[in-house]
Amino acid sequence: MSSDSYDHKRIESKWQARWKSRRAGEVDLRNSRDAYYMLVMFPYPSGDRLHVGHGRNYIMGDALYRYLRMRGRRPLNPMGWDSFGLPAENAAIERQVHPYDWTLGNIAAMKEQFLRWGILYDWSRELSSCTPEYYRWNQWLFVKMLEKELAYKREAPVNWCPSCQTVLANEQVVEGRCERCRTEVVQKTLSQWFLRITDFAERLLDNLDGLDGWPERVKVMQRNWIGRSEGAELDFELPDHGETLTVFTTRPDTVHGATFMVLAPEHPLVPRLIADSPDRSEIEGWVEKVRNTPRIQRETEERDKEGRDTGAFAVNPATGDRIPIWLADYVLPDYGTGSIMAVPAHDGRDLEFARQRGLAVRLVYHPEDEAVDAATMTEPVLHRGVIRNAPPFDGQHDGPDTVARFIDWIEEQGWGRRKVTYRLRDWLISRQRYWGTPIPVVYCDGCGIVPVPESELPVTLPYDVEFTGRRGNPLERHEGFLAAVCSKCGGAARRETDTMDTFVDSSWYFLRYLSARDDERIFDSKLAAEWCPVDQYIGGIEHAILHLLYARFVTLVLREFGLIEFEEPFTNLFNQGMITRFSEESGRIEKMSKSRGNTISPDRLIDEMGADTERVYTLFLGPPDEEVEWNQEAVSGAYRFLNRVWRAAEKLAEAPPTGPADDELERLRHVAIERVTRDMEKFKFNTVVAALMELMNALGKALEERTASRLTCEQTFDTLLMLLHPFAPHLTEELWEARGHPENLLESQWPSYDEAKLQASRVTIVVQIDGKLRDRLDVAVEAAESEVVDAVMASPKVEQHLEGREVAKTILVPGRLINLVTRPSA
């Protein structure tokens, strides 16, 4: 860049060194007056080179932080590292680097990056989830939950690579094959640990209504995920087996149309039902195949419904008919009861299956306007119709009311009961991997599963393990780790080798920041009461469901434990949009990422134009909550703006203007304060930058033309520096200091504006005739209505357009416009 540009390198390193040495972001939590807890989602130190797209939420967070400080708050803005995770273990396997060392190196690099961006955090409470000081409290939490039966162990399927002999995460399964060795992945059943989030389904759902500070779309996604369905459980007798088959349905009012039953192949009753079937071995083979199909494949692929006839029968309680029992893979084992009554006439999936197998179709609802024949229909009747063939309800119409009365009636008949079902499933936290929090239990031959007592926590992860990428979890081959003592009987025991899902780490970290160095307890309840819930959380939309739901769940659990009193962890949530860029590889606009080769390195950008330029441009390039495209050429606009600010300072010092007091510049100063303050509160950073550019343009003009007074220009410039500080902290601090102010900008008071000064003394009134713009008039702001009307009537343009017409009505919006509504002259 040109030597005419300001020396951003010198300025930025100077201020970064000062902030570091003065630990500028630290907060004394004991003084909680005006407590404001803001939180930017802690990052996973992945080892990828950071690019400008990563900076967006941290830069936004820092702008907000600096703004809040200048508004007189003492915001807490901590940062830490979500440092357990799969990439570390992959790096260990591929590059023979220990995950711990690899992670530590990445953290150091990222921390350096935050410094270079000029971002202030309270590093005195930095935490890293892969340290025993942190994960010991994951273990503590787990043991507590085990005590309260909120944690339990059961069989559950996992993705299994037969060649690597290891469990795969969903993201390691690519097109049904192992990401590393391309072997076809199968489903395998292992005994695994779960947390009972389903106990809280209703609270998690109901509380969403009170989260006014959350984006609607996140709440919608969580509602869908929890998936509440109201309906009934119905009992179907199996007379030949002396059993009762219970199904869940949201449409119990269609029970008369249930012409067959379908069970998930995994349903526990299946072996008994097929025991006498001539096709028994074939069916067993098929069930086994379905069982081994990875769940992702079964759920995501568009495929024909596969099924088998068990040869067994159930009795429809409403009709008394014997109806066949089928197995099909479109019925899922872990939703509802894992079995359904099939009503092909009123359900698309059931109809499709019935048509393929030639099963009976029986209509309950008949559309009034069109004749539908059960024997030939190809589309289910889903809309409202008249009920027939359902005796006490004959002639009625469908609707929530009818369904509710139908359920009452069903209960009277003793066929079933009202029931609410959730789609949400318990949280599977077991991971058959090394790099995570060890689950603190031991297996004792005599005592069974025994939790590790609190006094023996943490169960630390051994450092000396071998990474081969084959044959499962390295912890299983570490004798020193495996050998344990049962705390109940004192006998030899074997330690659990599963580690926890990393979402456990992030589900409560916001509480740990408050007590980051406390080795007596998970966190201090008193501090939590004063600082929580988090006032403002900033993070990407990718966490809309899992992380944010788990954090809400754990908050409810901690409340049950009596450690906190609030139910919801995050009062306000802001989702920043991603930064995208055109990718040469795909020819499309995509999220920035290393693999797509469309990244921009912040290092080079900072070298060339400075961190302040990157910050200003990042916040200027579009609405903060929307996805925006990085335009490398447009960055120079931000750079030019900052250079203009620099030159304005030079001009002000070297050749101050000597004009008269300039009311208009003073007015624009107040307008800028008002606009910037209002938009900061709404996170509209892009329009804040625009407002600052406008103020700079006005000031630049005054300085150039030497029209304003020195005092007005200096006041305007100081205001500009204050308003710009959250965006360009280095440059503004430097110029503020050069202007001779003793306090740093960061410690200064945000400027206030005078309502009375926002109004110009003369305003342009827009003159409309019948809603169309015809003229503009310059009038004094305090002009009376009659004066304005007189002035309008005197306008030649108005006269011209009023020819042959007369004014029927006049609408005057003071200070803005006048609209003359006309009609033909009499």
Residues 346-365 that bind RNA (CB under 7 A): 347, 349
Query: Closest by alpha carbon to 537, among 78, 73, 66?
Result: 78
Taking residues 683 to 702 in sequence order and writing x for each that binds RNA by CB under 7 A, - otherwise, the string is -x-xx-xx--xx--x--xx-
Site for RNA in 235-274 (CB under 7 A): 247-251, 264
Interface pick for RNA out of 46, 129, 339, 599 (rule CB under 7 A): 339
R_g of the chain, CA atoms, integer Å: 34
Smallest separation (angstroms) from RNA to the CB of 692: 8
Smallest separation (angstroms) from RNA to the CB of 739: 20
Decide: 588 and 629 in contact? Cβ < 8 Å. no
Residues 6+ apart with CB under 8 A from 740: none
- Decide: is 650 part of the binding site for RNA (CB under 7 A): no
The tokens for 297 are: 């494949």
Q: Which residues of 159-174 are buried (b: 16+ CB within 10 A; e: fewer)?
A: bbbeebebbbeeebbe
Smallest separation (angstroms) from RNA to the CB of 160: 20
Interface pick for RNA out of 31, 224, 468, 595 (rule CB under 7 A): 224
Interface pick for RNA out of 175, 463, 772, 804 (rule CB under 7 A): 772
- Between 30 and 809, CB nearer to RNA: 809
Smallest separation (angstroms) from RNA to the CB of 748: 24
- Decide: is 231 part of the binding site for RNA (CB under 7 A): yes
Interface pick for RNA out of 171, 212, 299, 379 (rule CB under 7 A): 299
The position carrying tokens 């080179």 is: 49
- Decide: is 176 part of the binding site for RNA (CB under 7 A): no
Query: Closest by alpha carbon to 502, among 154, 30, 128?
Result: 128
- Decide: is 636 part of the binding site for RNA (CB under 7 A): yes
Stretch that binds RNA, among 142-150, 311-319, 336-344, 706-714 (CB under 7 A): 336-344
Stretch that binds RNA, among 275-283, 751-759, 769-777, 779-787 (CB under 7 A): 769-777
Site for RNA in 310-329 (CB under 7 A): 329
The residue count of the chain comes to 826
Query: Closest by alpha carbon to 249, among 317, 156, 167?
Result: 317
- Decide: is 799 part of the binding site for RNA (CB under 7 A): no
The tokens for 70 are: 């200048």
Smallest separation (angstroms) from RNA to the CB of 208: 13
Stretch that binds RNA, among 12-20, 145-153, 467-475, 768-776 (CB under 7 A): 768-776
- Between 191 and 224, CB nearer to RNA: 224
- Decide: is 633 part of the binding site for RNA (CB under 7 A): yes
Site for RNA in 484-523 (CB under 7 A): none
- Decide: is 540 part of the binding site for RNA (CB under 7 A): no
Between CA 49 and CA 319 the distance in angstroms is: 67
Query: Closest by alpha carbon to 381, among 313, 230, 389?
Result: 389
What CA–CA distances, in Å, run from 34 to 37, 75, 378, 414? 10, 8, 65, 60
Between CA 70 and CA 811 the distance in angstroms is: 43
- Decide: is 77 part of the binding site for RNA (CB under 7 A): no
What CA–CA distances, in Å, run from 160 to 164, 167, 392, 472, 586? 9, 5, 53, 10, 32
- Decide: is 605 part of the binding site for RNA (CB under 7 A): no
Interface pick for RNA out of 217, 272, 322, 604 (rule CB under 7 A): 217
Q: How many CB atoms lie within 10 A of CB 323?
A: 20
Interface pick for RNA out of 107, 110, 151, 621 (rule CB under 7 A): 621
- Decide: is 773 part of the binding site for RNA (CB under 7 A): yes
Q: How many CB atoms lie within 10 A of CB 61?
A: 25
- Decide: is 576 part of the binding site for RNA (CB under 7 A): no
Q: Kindly determine how many residues on this chain lie close enough to bind RNA according to the rule CB under 7 A.
A: 85
Site for RNA in 703-742 (CB under 7 A): 704
- Decide: is 404 part of the binding site for RNA (CB under 7 A): no
- Between 622 and 656, CB nearer to RNA: 622
Stretch that binds RNA, among 26-34, 55-63, 332-340, 477-485 (CB under 7 A): 332-340
- Decide: is 225 part of the binding site for RNA (CB under 7 A): yes
Stretch that binds RNA, among 8-16, 66-74, 139-147, 621-629 (CB under 7 A): 621-629
Interface pick for RNA out of 771, 803, 804, 826 (rule CB under 7 A): 771
- Between 93 and 186, CB nearer to RNA: 186
Interface pick for RNA out of 13, 32, 229, 748 (rule CB under 7 A): 229
Query: Closest by alpha carbon to 499, among 4, 2, 74, 142?
Result: 142
Q: Which residues of 21-49 are buried (b: 16+ CB within 10 A; e: fewer)?
A: eeebbbbebeebeebbbbbbbbbbbbbee
Site for RNA in 806-825 (CB under 7 A): 809, 811, 813, 816-817, 819, 821
Interface pick for RNA out of 707, 748, 768, 795 (rule CB under 7 A): 768
Smallest separation (angstroms) from RNA to the CB of 331: 4
Decide: 292 and 187 in contact? Cβ < 8 Å. yes
Decide: 75 and 36 in contact? Cβ < 8 Å. yes
Query: Closest by alpha carbon to 645, among 696, 695, 704, 611?
Result: 696
Question: How would you write 47-81 as a 3-class SS string?
Answer: CCCCCHHHHHHHHHHHHHHHHHHHCCCEEECCCCE
- Between 514 and 645, CB nearer to RNA: 645
- Between 163 and 356, CB nearer to RNA: 356
- Decide: is 276 part of the binding site for RNA (CB under 7 A): no
DSSP assignment string, 223-290 = HHHH-EEEEEEEEEEETTTTEEEEEEES-GGGGGG--EEEE-TT-TTHHHHTTT-TTHHHHHHHHHHH
The tokens for 249 are: 């349905």
